[in-house]
Structure 1
Amino acid sequence: MTSYGAMLRFFLTLLVGLMGSLLFKLAGLPLPWLLGALSASALASLAGAPVGVTKPIRLCIMVILGVMLGGAFSPEVLAHIGEWIPTLIAAVFYLGLITFVAQIYCRKILGMDRITAIFSGFPGGLSEMTLLGEEAGANVQALTLTHACRVATILLAIPLFLTYWAGLEPIAPIQTGPFWNLQDIAFLIITALAGLGLGRVFGFPAHHLTGPLLISAIVHTTGLIDNEPYDLVKIILQLTLGSALGARFSGYSFRQIGRIMLLAVGMAFVMMGVTLLVSALLSQITDASFEALILALSPGGFAEMTLAALSMGIDPAFVTTHHALRLLVIVFIVPVFLARLLKKQAPPEKIPEETPENRREKL
């Protein structure tokens, strides 16, 4: 396909995604710019429409996403982290527990291969888990759909639970600022390029995502940049990412998609059950409230759970810090151990028998 044809296909994909996002927005559904775009482009892909995104564009999305995720860190998080050490330690063990339960569900119930099941079981955000899973060789279509169903189910169920069971009332979100200026944008471009180079040199897993994320986190934590991105930037990123992910469902039938969706929603409720049990236990042995722990440990997306905390009047710094730790563990530590595990289990290379011919070649 020519570059001109690829660009036309990309703009068609964005147009389809935008239509889905607007429908989700009008219907009041969760994550309209991400899940709406994903749903529309996935339906178009399943119907045989010429939608799709080239690999260079996907890599650019990874770089931008890494910079944006790094912006979740702040000096405020650094100032309070000492107070939250007990629950942060517990969150790491909880990550192992819930991933173990979810990946068993994915293998036994959803029938996934091992790599896809492991990455489907990680309670990370839709975007970073799909990108990391693709890097590791997972089934991108099944992985994307599983995480999309999980995030949407969690985002719908948790606020309802806190409202009707815990008695919390949603409040109007507070608009904060100031927003990025030209100096911030220039600095972030340099940050992205530096992170990209660092990740490539040191061989970070999914270095297009993790390198920029690491440098961006350092920049924001030290306070070099403390302004926020415009809402339009967040919308464009979610729209582009959702459209790109949804366009990768060609070759699947509607029947296969429906089965995965149904079982993925069941997995989300299993994960929520584990979250409620762990949160109840931790609330008894730490100073953290049950409601705050639910949002901090909930296997939803990073930004979505922070937004839910703001809307429910729960400390967003507490929630953000725990999700940030989980993200760092998933993005940087887990792929390293996973690579070593797979390397150990791979069959050893057969050493060719030495003959006079190859002995002469060595000499």
Structure 2
Amino acid sequence: MITAKKLFQMLLALFIGAIGSIVFIYLSLPLPWLLGAIFASSIAMRFENLPIQSPKTFSTPARVLIGLTIGSAFTPEILQYLDVSFYSLLLVIPFTILTILAGMYYYQRYQGFDKKTAYLSSMPGGVIEMVIIGEEIKADIAKITLVQSSRLFFIVISLPFVIQYIFKVDISGNQLITIPLSNINIGEFLALLVVGAIGGILAKKLKISAAYLIGPMILSIAVHSTGLITTSVPDEFLKFVQVVFGTIIGFTFRGVKLQTVIKTLIGTFGHFLILVCISTIFITIAYYSFGFPLLSTLLAFSPGGQAEINLIAILVSANVPYITLHHIVRLFIVMNLAPIFARKLKD
């Protein structure tokens, strides 16, 4: 149950995140609504006397909105070309396996992790999912949380700068992502929100991984690909989603000593460099073999969180269906194989 006090503290945290976003807009930095919120909240949460807390309660509706937005990209025209990405999707299997093996070796050899903790720390999956599995097999939950959060932090921070300064895609300032709220069909949008809520609830009952993202996405694909609904999530809502995720990411290290945070970031940076090398290999293979746009291929083989990478894909107008399918396959592999092999590992 959320009390009025907790709600106020979460709203204050979001307000601080939004202030950071406005500062990033003023400085013309990439993805200001996301990165600005990360920057501001990561500083604010170091001040323990501030009456703020992570707005995790807003994560569920934010994931629903991302799922609906992803689904709106699956137009009938795009669906005709999905079979072309089949062989690219097959590359996700060796990509995921190699990522896990390299990560396990690194964390055991250079960070002194036990096998179970190293295994779950190297998984290119969600933080929450890996922590749940870690609790079941008695791995080091604190290390898994810090490492997975650090990996996500590095990826979300670095990708926008790569996109803006290497790919020369201007994602600075307060740009329109989708159509503004004033131009949408309100009736269709309300119907889309109902579709999202139903999708999330059904997916949760069916115990589907990332239920509040995948469920709304599947139903959104259904209604958009058939033309039943043509409206997408308004621009203002997606900016709010960015502030929510940015603020949550910034709060990841709250309550952890600064020395521990720095040590974890340094340790995880080594793994991040390994991921960059592995991703580069598969991005090169996929790009030259199948001819998909390089930016979309980059995002398809970026081992970040599903919600965060898809959000970036939406913001830069990449091939969202292509990217989403790759991350769904990776998530399916991770969430189905991780518990099986984790229980068989012996320290």
2:238 counterpart of 1:234: yes
Structure 2 residue aligned with 1:269: 273
Q: 1:148 aligns with which of 139, 145, 153?
A: 153
Structure 2 residue aligned with 1:359: none
Structure 2 residue aligned with 1:94: 95
Structure 1 residue aligned with 2:53: 52
User: Does the residue aligned with 2:30 lie in a helix, a strand or coil?
Assistant: coil
CA distance in structure 2 between the partners assigned to 1:8 and 1:175 by the alignment: 28
Q: 1:303 aligns with which of 290, 311, 330?
A: 311
Change (3 A) 1:170 1:214: closer
Q: CA deviation at 1:149?
A: 1.2
Which structure 2 residues correspond to residues 309-348 of structure 1 after superposition, within 5 A?
310=317, 316-317=318-319, 320-342=320-342
User: Does the residue aligned with 1:223 lie in a helix, a strand or coil?
Assistant: coil
206-215 vs 145-154, greater mean Cα deviation = 206-215
Q: CA deviation at 1:135?
A: 5.1
Task: Specify the code of the residue in structure 2 equivalent to 1:77.
Answer: I
Structure 1 residue aligned with 2:32: 32
180-189 vs 212-221, greater mean Cα deviation = 212-221
Q: CA deviation at 1:104?
A: 4.2
2:72 counterpart of 1:81: no
2:228 counterpart of 1:224: yes
Identity of aligned residues (%): 24
Change (3 A) 1:89 1:251: same
Q: CA deviation at 1:181?
A: 1.8
2:257 counterpart of 1:259: no
Larger Rg: 1
Cα offsets for 1:83-139 (capped at 9, x unmatched): 333223224433433344345445555566767766664557xxxx34544554564
User: Does the residue aligned with 2:81 lie in a helix, a strand or coil?
Assistant: helix
Aligned residues: 329
Answer yes or no: is the 8 Å Cα contact 1:150–1:267 preserved in 2. no
Structure 2 residue aligned with 1:351: none
Change (3 A) 1:23 1:266: farther
Structure 2 residue aligned with 1:15: 15
Q: CA deviation at 1:265?
A: 4.1
CA distance in structure 2 between the partners assigned to 1:116 and 1:218 by the alignment: 39
Task: Specify the code of the residue in structure 2 equivalent to 1:207.
Answer: A
Q: CA deviation at 1:289?
A: 6.7
Answer yes or no: is the 8 Å Cα contact 1:31–1:152 preserved in 2. no
2:201 counterpart of 1:200: no
Task: Specify the code of the residue in structure 1 equivalent to 2:148.
Answer: L
Q: CA deviation at 1:78?
A: 0.9
User: Does the residue aligned with 1:52 lie in a helix, a strand or coil?
Assistant: coil
Cα offsets for 1:266-301 (capped at 9, x unmatched): 433332222332333445544557676445434462
CA distance in structure 1 between the partners assigned to 2:223 and 2:119 by the alignment: 31
CA distance in structure 1 between the partners assigned to 2:66 and 2:118 by the alignment: 24
Q: CA deviation at 1:324?
A: 0.9
Using structure 2 for the length normalisation, give the TM-score. 0.77
Change (3 A) 1:113 1:147: farther
CA distance in structure 2 between the partners assigned to 1:18 and 1:186 by the alignment: 25
Which structure 2 residues correspond to residues 42-191 of structure 1 after superposition, within 5 A?
42-48=42-48, 49-53=50-54, 56-102=57-103, 104-106=105-107, 108-109=109-110, 121=122, 129-133=126-130, 136=133, 139-157=144-162, 160-162=165-167, 170=169, 180-191=184-195
CA distance in structure 2 between the partners assigned to 1:30 and 1:113 by the alignment: 38
Task: Specify the code of the residue in structure 2 equivalent to 1:43.
Answer: I
Structure 2 residue aligned with 1:361: none
Change (3 A) 1:176 1:76: farther
Change (3 A) 1:219 1:339: farther
Q: CA deviation at 1:231?
A: 1.8
Q: CA deviation at 1:17?
A: 1.0
Cα offsets for 1:202-240 (capped at 9, x unmatched): 222343333323323333333333333222111111112
Cα offsets for 1:239-274 (capped at 9, x unmatched): 122223423432212222233334444433332222
User: Does the residue aligned with 1:46 lie in a helix, a strand or coil?
Assistant: coil
CA distance in structure 1 between the partners assigned to 2:278 and 2:259 by the alignment: 29
CA distance in structure 1 between the partners assigned to 2:265 and 2:238 by the alignment: 26
Using structure 1 for the length normalisation, give the TM-score. 0.74
Change (3 A) 1:132 1:85: same
CA distance in structure 1 between the partners assigned to 2:113 and 2:184 by the alignment: 42
Q: CA RMSD in A?
A: 3.7
Task: Specify the code of the residue in structure 2 equivalent to 1:27.
Answer: L
User: Does the residue aligned with 1:155 lie in a helix, a strand or coil?
Assistant: helix
Q: Name stretches of at least 5 consecutive residues in structure 2 with no aligned partner.
A: 135-140
Cα offsets for 1:12-69 (capped at 9, x unmatched): 1112111222223333333322222123222222221332146644444443443344
Task: Specify the code of the residue in structure 1 equivalent to 2:75.
Answer: S
